[in-house]
Amino acid sequence: METWARALLFVLLFVAAPAARADAPWLDEARALVLRGAGEQGALRVDVQFGALDARLRLAPCEQIEPYLPSGAKLWGRSRIGLRCLRGPTRWNVYLPVTVKVFGPALVASRALPAGSVLAPGDLAQAEVDLAEDASVALRQRELAVGRTLARALQPGASLRQSHLQARQWFAAGETVVVVAQGRGFAVSGEAQALTPGIEGQPARVRTERGRVISGTPVGERRVEVNL
């Protein structure tokens, strides 16, 4: 990610310079660094938009500026990079807003869909969307959405996100479930009794036939996975 931040600063400085040429060789190199930093395939379209520093800032001249990624920041959607002066009459540190848009194919609503709708194939279409505009994952496969219930309304053309779907309950407390414990190169299974409901995306506790209580991830109808 440090390489990514340096690439962003490189683009910022040279695009703002009157002498920069659109065919300068560093443009392709900078774009490649940005694509790698975004963690996406080169086929996806990436758009980097830089914000502006606070107009009230009066920064001293600096011979060496170091870009860095602030703690907790992620270069995906709305974020920021840090710029600090390492060599100059006055040391300073500022933050530059940046918006990273990563475009790729995903499902969108083909019509207005109210909350509580059970999704049918005709409710969805494929379109290019900004995958980074929402923290929730954009769904790309119809089979992951058809038959699911919307937790919130969607406008036509809005991308369908994992958070837009109501969480499924795979089993209830007291039901017998299959527990699959898996590690590197092996997997074992057995039956257990659910002590808590199996809600999608939430851990569930079960009691094995030997009386041991363990936590796992509900992944399907009366099925729990435990990673060892």
23 and 78, same domain (yes or no): yes
The residue type found at 193 is: Q
Q: Do 204 and 196 form a contact (C-beta atoms < 8 A)?
A: yes
Rounded Cα–Cα distance for residues 66 and 201 (Å): 40
83 and 109, same domain (yes or no): no
CATH number where 134 lies: 3.90.1210.10
133 and 209, same domain (yes or no): no
Max avg pLDDT among 99-108, 112-121, 183-192: 112-121
Backbone angles phi, psi at 30, to 5 degrees: -65, -40
Number of domains in the chain: 3
Looking at every residue in the chain, the average pLDDT score rounds to 81
The last residue of one of the domains, among 164, 184, 201, is 164
Range of the structural domain that residue 46 is part of: 2-102
159 and 202, same domain (yes or no): no
Residue 108 DSSP symbol: E
CATH number where 194 lies: 2.30.30.760
pLDDT at 6 over 60: no
The last residue of one of the domains, among 53, 72, 102, is 102
Q: How confident is residue 99, by pLDDT bands cut at 50, 70 and 90? A: confident
3-state secondary structure of 12: helix
In tens, the pLDDT along 15-54 reads 333 332 344 333 344 445 455 555 544 446 788 777 777 8
In tens, the pLDDT along 54-93 reads 888 888 888 887 777 788 877 788 888 788 888 889 899 9
Residue 174's CB: how many other CB atoms inside 10 A? Answer: 10
3-state secondary structure of 194: strand
117 and 176, same domain (yes or no): no
Token representation of residue 76: 């995906």
Backbone angles phi, psi at 202, to 5 degrees: -125, 145
In tens, the pLDDT along 204-216 reads 999 999 999 999 9
Q: How confident is residue 130, by pLDDT bands cut at 50, 70 and 90? A: very high
74 and 143, same domain (yes or no): no
202 and 191, same domain (yes or no): yes
97 and 186, same domain (yes or no): no
Token representation of residue 218: 């509900």
98 and 109, same domain (yes or no): no
192 and 219, same domain (yes or no): yes
37 and 95, same domain (yes or no): yes
81, 128, 166, 215, 218 from 207: Cα distances, Å: 47, 45, 27, 9, 14
Mean of the pLDDT values across residues 5-12?
Answer: 45
3-state secondary structure of 50: strand
Backbone angles phi, psi at 37, to 5 degrees: -65, -35
Rounded Cα–Cα distance for residues 59 and 43 (Å): 39
Rounded Cα–Cα distance for residues 226 and 166 (Å): 23
- Of residues 102 and 203, more confidence is placed in 203
Sequence-separated (6 or more) residues with CB below 8 Å from residue 65: 9, 83, 84, 85, 86
In tens, the pLDDT along 160-198 reads 999 999 999 999 999 999 999 988 888 899 999 999 999
What pLDDT was estimated at residue 31?
Answer: 46
54 and 133, same domain (yes or no): no
The last residue of one of the domains, among 164, 184, 214, is 164
What pLDDT was estimated at residue 14?
Answer: 36
What pLDDT was estimated at residue 107?
Answer: 97
Q: Which residue has the tokens 């560093």?
A: 26
What pLDDT was estimated at residue 178?
Answer: 96
